[in-house]
A and B are shown apart, each in its own frame.
Chain A
């Protein structure tokens, strides 16, 4: 699905990532950990083509990203659900409209898919908040709305960048249970977090690989977790 082969990324002359190789297989669950500033977000951006590698090969759904036109990138992104720590909503739209945004920009008739939308909103527990605007939501509600938006197109891969960074433990667990449920439905999940407790708790429930970025390189985390 997403494959990185000997990838390096540098910015302003500084190497942020180097010698990164990874294959995200269908139905896999990866944790990506490392201290703040280690390059977790950069790694995810390479995966959803927001950044281009300085060297090495990134293939998304079998296509070398270097050869992709903008429109092809847009089409590929419809198969990747992304959840950011800051959610990135359009504040002038309601929660329901934000969740439906991927359908809207894909030119699909939202009205025709309102049942799916309703089911998804219920699934993330935002039925009562769906007509509110994002600034009116709590941190946990925003993250759940972001997750709903990430999965509404039925993506093959979900990339989540510190989705539990701004929520309490209970809400973290709730978000994790949603991600686990998606994984059990066959979706690949890559979750970047610096919260080791969260990883330890979740590892018991699913078969997940834990990766760590240290010294700009990607490593398989050991028994210290």
Chain B
């Protein structure tokens, strides 16, 4: 760890004399800084996507996983009896923590987004809804369905699995896609820096020949390139990250009903994560340039 820190400090301190030996090449310098900035900007969004979908999946899993609904559709004369029967079945079902009948006002609120606030709920044949909250271990949904069918034929159990599972799966896949995007961004950055480093080495063939002639070791030559590309990537990555964080911060606030679309962003300490992007980019640049330089120098007679 000490050796790594020492190398890092040496890298940041730089070596004015060594930096003078290898002249900077404008083309690769600009290309590296710009690409590092663009990649960092994209990485911030990919990271934000990963965190947002992670939160979404977690919420859908935890909030909805422990609740389900029993819907009772029966002729008005039988509605009360079937409701009581269903409640009794629920009370006796292992794994059910509690159940309660939703009131008219709650049902009206549930339907409001689709039918408006003035829905005459009394005049409509709205089914009775019972909210069921599970214990940690859950209950046997199939068994409950069979018992409800026997005791209250109009009762239908909806444990939300049907629509919750694909949503959670979708959110999890989006999260994986976010991390895949970050990995691809890192690989693209490494590839770009490798190409730029090789171009810089080719452009400095004469410098390499002369420095070798006077006793330069390959690691000395490689270090001059590594330092330059790492610092450029760090600088470009820092600017790209700050711009990306600013853009994420300026996204519209997440509203309860539109959270899926507007919830992209960071929450609390998650804002610290993007700050690692320039450092990670610099690390990628360090290894990519070092590998490219040493292999190119080895191949160079």
Contacts and interface: CB of A to CB of B under 8 A. Distances in A.
A90 B207 contact: yes
Nearest to B24: A92
B17 interface: yes
A149 B215 CA distance: 12
Interface in B195-221: 206-207, 209-220
Contact of A104 (B17, B23, B218): B17
Contacts of B211: 90, 101, 105
A92 B204 CA distance: 12
Contact of A106 (B20, B213, B215, B219): B215
A75 interface: yes
Interface in A49-99: 50, 70-71, 74-75, 77-78, 82, 88-90, 92-93, 97
B28 to A, nearest CB: 16
B35 to A, nearest CB: 26
Interface string B1-44: 00000000000000001101101000000000000000000000
B196 to A, nearest CB: 20
Residue in A105, A106, A149 whose Cβ sees the most chain B Cβ within 10 Å: A105
Nearest to A48: B213
Interface in A140-165: 149, 153
Interface in B215-250: 215-220
Nearest to A50: B213
A110 interface: yes
Given A104-B18, A105-B220, A77 B207 contact: no
Nearest to B298: A70
A4 to B, nearest CB: 20
A220 to B, nearest CB: 29
A77 B213 contact: yes
A92 B21 CA distance: 8
A74 B222 CA distance: 14
A71 B217 CA distance: 5
A149 B214 contact: yes
Contacts of A12: none
Nearest to B214: A102
A70 B210 contact: no
B218 A105 contact: no
A90 B21 contact: yes
Interface residues of B, number: 20
B215 A74 contact: yes
A13 interface: no
Nearest to A79: B215
Contacts of A48: 213
A44 B215 CA distance: 16
A106 B212 CA distance: 11
Contact of A93 (B20, B212, B216, B217): B20
Residue in B21, B213, B219, B298 whose Cβ sees the most chain A Cβ within 10 Å: B213
Contacts of B218: 70-71, 74
A114 B198 CA distance: 34
B209 A105 contact: no
Contacts of A89: 210
A82 B211 CA distance: 12
Interface in A81-138: 82, 88-90, 92-93, 97, 101-102, 104-107, 110
A78 B215 contact: yes
Contact of A101 (B21, B217, B298): B21
A74 B220 CA distance: 11
Interface of B: 17-18, 20-21, 23, 206-207, 209-220, 298
Interface of A: 48, 50, 70-71, 74-75, 77-78, 82, 88-90, 92-93, 97, 101-102, 104-107, 110, 149, 153
Given A77-B215, A149-B214, A153-B215, 14 more contacts: A70-B298, A71-B218, A74-B212, A74-B216, A74-B217, A82-B213, A88-B210, A89-B210, A90-B211, A101-B210, A101-B211, A104-B20, A105-B220, A106-B215
27 contacts: A70-B217, A70-B218, A70-B298, A71-B217, A71-B219, A74-B215, A74-B216, A74-B217, A74-B218, A77-B213, A78-B215, A82-B214, A88-B209, A88-B213, A90-B21, A92-B23, A97-B20, A101-B211, A101-B214, A102-B215, A104-B17, A104-B20, A104-B21, A105-B214, A105-B216, A105-B217, A153-B215
